[in-house]
Chain A
Amino acid sequence: MSRKGQAGRKEGRVRSDCWVSVEPRGEGGVTVSVESIVAPMYGEAIERDAVDGLSRLGVEHAAVRVVDAGALPFVLDARLEAAARRAIPDLEGELLPEAKPWSRYGTSRDRFRRSRLYLPGDQPKFMVNAGLHSPDGVILDLEDSVAPSEKDAARYVVRNALRAVDFKGAERMVRINQLPEGLEDLDYIVPHNVHVILIPKCESPDDVAAVDERVVSILADRGMKSPVYLMPIVESALGCWRAYEIASASKNVVALTIGLEDYTADIGTQRTNKGRESFWARSQVVNAARAARVQPIDTVFSDVSDMDGLLASVREAKSLGFDGKGCIHPRQIEVIHRGFAPTEEELEKAKRIVQAFEKAESEGLGVVSLGSKMIDPPVVKRAQRTVELAIASGILPENWREGGDDV
């Protein structure tokens, strides 16, 4: 009736993951054999969860083998489901872990997106503690970090992580695969409180519209109200050229970012540390994003051992007009936040403007002025954002007004 399905890892140095094989059969119920480094502590739990999981998927008779290197329950479930589906492709139902209370917080359009930490979608060991490092966002990646043969399996890991892992307030993002495959990814993740979808290799407003349409339809089917925001990634000459159209293709786009590895290849050159070859593209992204009233976000800095280089790169990004940067190692987060923090000079000026605005407001004045200068509303807004950023960066206390700095 069907073949043996297997999923997960068991070769090499595996940690916090497992390998599961499911061999359906005609009779004999579900039998489970477990080989685990945590057998004395959780061997029975693993066996119980495997039997229970298959029964929830409607599999009545199968021989299951689990080779476990300390996989957490949400990972075991994901591997079991992937193996079962590889064995029996037309299985109905999903093996969803309980949605933990901490998976339910929301996000907002204008939140800070200084740092976003990439987490390979098929590597659960990096997921569980990612939120502890306080990135503004985590990106569960289904695209480039996942081997083509594991695309299906990664969906279950990512979906289960969205339900089970505490990302500690970080914005919950998923990078889907390039369209059209990426559209199918949406069915697995959108129902599980994903905040932002990253659309890779975006070249046209139609790509954004297609994702938006599918997202809206999934949400509507489930009666879900909170919007799912979009962050297109332009990674080609054409994508960069159409940056503004892309950024303004949907009201759900909140940020626009750029991928330089593919872009530099596409324009026929190589990526250098100085980055002269991508200066136009980065500026284009900043300008397009600002024109569309969304956040311009810079690419990742890939040398994880070079913190000085990272800081210089962040400062350059900030000076070009970017609001954030991608990261691939948790130790980069603090450096990125430091790099995007307002300078003392910027902050002092912003504080004076905010206080002048608040004073004018409390006195019922329609016009904000600082000394002899009138302050325009966009400048006030920018100053308020700078003050909020300083608070988020930990360089200004939330109660700074009580600190008594004179205007």
Chain B
Amino acid sequence: MSEQKLVRNAAGRMVPAEVNGKEAVPYKGVGGHRPSGKKAAPPLATCIDYPASGNKLVPSIKDALKAAGLEDGMTVSTHHHLRNGDFVANATMDAAAELGARDLMWFPSASFPCHAGMIEHMKSGVIHHIEGSMNGPLGEYCSRGNMKGMGVLRSHGGRYRAVQDGDVHIDIAVIAAPTADPFGNAHGLTGPAACGLLGFALADSQYADRVIVVTDNLIDFPCVPWQIQGNHVDFVTTMEAIGDSSKIVSGTTQITKSPDRLRIAEMTARFVRDAGIMRDGFSFQCGAGGTALSFAIFLMDMMRDAGVKARFVRGGSTQYLTAMLEEGLTDYILDGQTFDLEGVRSMRENPAHVNTSPFTSYNYHGKGNFASMVDCVVLGATEVDVNFNANVVTHSDGKLLHGIGGWQNCLASKCTILPIPSFRNRIPVLVDEVTTLCGPGELIDVIVTERGIAINPRREDLLSAVSESDLPVRPIEELKAEVEDICGGPPAKPEFEDRVVAAIEWVDGTVIDSVRQLKAE
């Protein structure tokens, strides 16, 4: 591998000047980069090449890949709505391997532990590298410097943008579809692998050269609503099962029992109430982690007590958001993914439970997106530093562990709140400088920990809004000092090699930070 050239970006981070053979733009600050030119586009197609009957069925994924013209070095994409129960991404790469393909770039919208098999395909040379989230074993593989190319981590909106802008050209998109017809119309509302919606596959269907739909629930035309439009689709094929339904959505989402996390969740809800964010017609977004769910439940109680109703809440939807909708505590759920069976049912039955995509919600190179219209968003982080910069992809040991998801995109909200423990086990979450910069501090407003709430000094409005409340508002430096005292001093920094193994993109496609190879043990 040739010497990597690094440049210092506007956040002071050293980032690669070139990523996988393409020139990269270093981060220029929030709102500092302006794109030019036209959007990318897939090649023109003609009905002459497709059966007038509308029947695009082929016998297998392997046949579909072959018919789609799979070649060495191509980019093959999949989506992650089937989460840790997904069978399709693995089946796709297994088929590609059988076809003898080499040096592919896998471009998932996210990866899960079930995709650990991709490591074998990287070792054997079928996959050259991954651009997408790298969780668990894949993150470890990449962090150890074992991947041939450079990993690129993008937010959900950043992935849509990268495809739309032509930064990533998808040669073949393989779309797992819980229900589809032979024309390629598809949705996620029914079928054994029902996952609610298919928004993460939207860009793939619109911009890929070739699109393959894979289903285990083939129905007669028309498959409605067509979340994926068959007019984008080249081939349809079937599998016995596209996923393990028990790992796609949970029967019931679990709220946390941890007293500390419940305390954090409750304090977050009180902050939202006491800061005046919770008022008639407001909006919020939270994830499906234990703390975020508990936050939603506490907030629901407070809304009920105060007689306040939201205009919309943003999913990931769960049984709790669904209950809010059905109780009339919100007019709409604008949903990016469904996390449990109640969410899927609600999306299927309730017109006010609306499916969204990274295009509508998060795309930074569009004519606006929904994220900036949300009154407050509740997110997680692995580390936050005294300047409110936050990390979501690595832990303090320097190992790549999580994807960015919609996290960066959500920072556009009017008030970004991170409810996080101040330390996990003995690992301080509040640090002097984040290991990997994923979100700039100027966009992160409030940190809620079990030991107190830190408000970004830039947000004088929020500081004064809660000055009369009995919330334990404290300077972030003070919280950090307390945590270090408990943990026995500040943590040592991990040791790295010089080589950059992954680039972290900001929402506008510039490179905000890089992840280096871990020092060999």
Contact = CB atoms under 8 A, between A and B. Distances in A.
Interface of A: 15-16, 37-45, 49, 69-73, 100, 128-129, 132-133, 329-331
A40 B397 contact: yes
A16 B491 contact: no
Interface string B441-483: 0000000001100000000000000000000000000000000
B435 to A, nearest CB: 10
Contact of B494 (A15, A40, A72, A133): A40
B307 interface: no
A40 B398 CA distance: 9
Contacts of A41: 396-397, 426-427, 491-492, 494
Given A42-B491, A70-B427, 14 more contacts: A16-B426, A38-B425, A39-B397, A40-B491, A40-B494, A41-B491, A45-B488, A45-B492, A49-B488, A70-B426, A72-B487, A132-B260, A330-B263, A331-B262
16 contacts: A38-B427, A38-B491, A39-B397, A40-B397, A40-B398, A40-B494, A42-B426, A42-B491, A70-B424, A70-B425, A70-B427, A72-B487, A73-B487, A128-B486, A329-B259, A330-B263
B425 to A, nearest CB: 2
B492 A40 contact: yes
Contacts of A44: 492
Closest 7 A/B residue pairs (Cβ):
A70-B425, A41-B491, A330-B259, A73-B488, A70-B426, A40-B397, A40-B494
A42 B492 contact: yes
A353 to B, nearest CB: 28
A45 B260 contact: no
B49 to A, nearest CB: 55
Task: Please report whether the interface of chain B is mostly helix, strand, loop or mixed according to DSSP.
Answer: loop
B489 interface: yes
Contacts of B495: 40
A69 B260 CA distance: 19
B472 to A, nearest CB: 9
Given A41-B491, A128-B486, A71 B426 contact: yes
A154 to B, nearest CB: 20
Contacts of A70: 424-427
A72 B486 contact: yes
Contacts of B491: 38, 40-42
Interface in B255-276: 259-260, 262-263
B260 A42 contact: no
A193 B9 CA distance: 53
Interface in B483-514: 485-489, 491-492, 494-495
Contacts of A330: 259, 263
Contacts of A16: 425-426
Contacts of A43: 492
Contacts of B259: 129, 133, 329-331
Interface string B390-433: 00000011100000000000000000000000001111000000
Contacts of B489: 45
A243 B262 CA distance: 39
Contacts of A40: 396-398, 491-492, 494-495
A94 B76 CA distance: 63
Nearest to B426: A70
A354 to B, nearest CB: 24
B347 to A, nearest CB: 30
Nearest to B472: A132
A328 to B, nearest CB: 11
A38 B426 contact: yes
Given A15-B425, A37-B425, A38-B425, A132 B263 contact: yes
Nearest to A37: B425
B519 to A, nearest CB: 9
A132 B486 contact: no
